[in-house]
Structure 1
Amino acid sequence: MKVQIWANLGVKDVARTEAFYTKLGFEQTPGQKSEELTSFLFGNDGFMIHFFKEESLKNGMKGELADLSKGNEVIFSISAETEEEVNDWAVKVKDAGGHVFSPPEAFQGMYGCAFADPDGHKFNILKWK
């Protein structure tokens, strides 16, 4: 059995989300774009994250979405090959309109930083030592 997994996240402004991830250099998922949705491929295996307009995702989930101002839903991790790459990510995220809430630093045998996109979805960039 072939299984594919992807993530669905809610956003307030699909166009803003599309601009943010495009500025970071992610590839849009072919055929996955509308007024209610933008989608991007992450990593070498093409993990998809669909970003749905919040109301559309709430309808599909039959319930409320997490309030990211009060807590976390998940943090996605992206690998980096060098510490310089981690540092570059932090600059790109700020320039694209994201929030670097944990600046580049060494910790627990890694070097990394963490950021939130304009809707508060969290990612970290990690280089294993």
Structure 2
Amino acid sequence: MSTQVFVNLPTTDLERSKAFYTALGCQINPLFTDENAACVVWSEDIFFMVLTREYLATFTDKPIIDPRQSLQTSVSFSRDSREAVDEILARGLAAGGTEPRPPQDLGFMYSRDLDDPDGNALGFLFMPPQAAQEGPDAFLADQNPQGDPA
């Protein structure tokens, strides 16, 4: 049996959150969706449980932060290309998300951040397979063997 990952995220507007995540290409599992929560299906093993703040508070004695003011977690997803990163950001921005900082191009990895309408932080990145196998330093050295400035 594979491990499934469930990420719980607070929302102040469940319908808005469902619309945002479906605009990114996710599905909503109706078996685990009601007026308190929506099960957002990223893949067969990755799910977001988008929960009203009041409902999420029933699972903990800790305060529920406002993700627009504080960062609790940032969840990142790999994409198959730089263009796929840009494409999902465009869909997210059109659906009410915000991009809190400029794209990051580190040579071995290209990434962009997207906050959902509640401020929950998502990241999308592309890393060439060679960079993932060799690590950043070796990949960058292969790209610039003479050490020439980029």
Same fold (TM over 0.5): yes
Measured after TM superposition, the shift of residue 16 of structure 1 is 0.6
Q: 1:15-54 residue pairs with structure 2 within 5 A?
A: 15-43=15-43, 45-54=44-53
Q: 1:1-129 residue pairs with structure 2 within 5 A?
A: 4-43=4-43, 45-107=44-106, 109-129=108-128
The percentage of counterpart residues that share the same residue type is: 26
Larger strand share, 1 or 2: 1
- For residues 16 and 113 of structure 1, what CA distance do their matches in structure 2 show? 22
**Mapped contact 1:81–1:127 kept (Cα < 8 A):** yes
Measured after TM superposition, the shift of residue 3 of structure 1 is 5.1
- For residues 42 and 115 of structure 2, what CA distance do their matches in structure 1 show? 16
Measured after TM superposition, the shift of residue 103 of structure 1 is 3.5
Task: Tell me the amino acid that sits aligned with residue 62 of structure 2.
Answer: G
The alignment of Structure 1 onto Structure 2 pairs a total of residues equal to 128
- For residues 69 and 122 of structure 1, what CA distance do their matches in structure 2 show? 9
Aligned to 1:101, the other structure's residue is in SS state coil
**Mapped contact 1:29–1:48 kept (Cα < 8 A):** no
Larger helix share, 1 or 2: 2
Gaps of 5+ in 1: none
Measured after TM superposition, the shift of residue 30 of structure 1 is 4.5
Identify which range, 75-84 or 65-74, moves more after superposition.
Answer: 65-74
Measured after TM superposition, the shift of residue 72 of structure 1 is 0.5
Q: CA RMSD in A?
A: 1.8
Aligned to 2:100, the other structure's residue is in SS state strand
Measured after TM superposition, the shift of residue 21 of structure 1 is 0.5
Measured after TM superposition, the shift of residue 32 of structure 1 is 1.1
Gaps of 5+ in 2: 129-150
Show CA shifts across 1:1-33 (max 9, x none).
875441211110111100110111101234111
Answer with 1 or 2: which has the greater Rg. 2
Q: Which runs of 4+ in 1 moved over 4 A?
A: none
**Mapped contact 1:86–1:104 kept (Cα < 8 A):** no
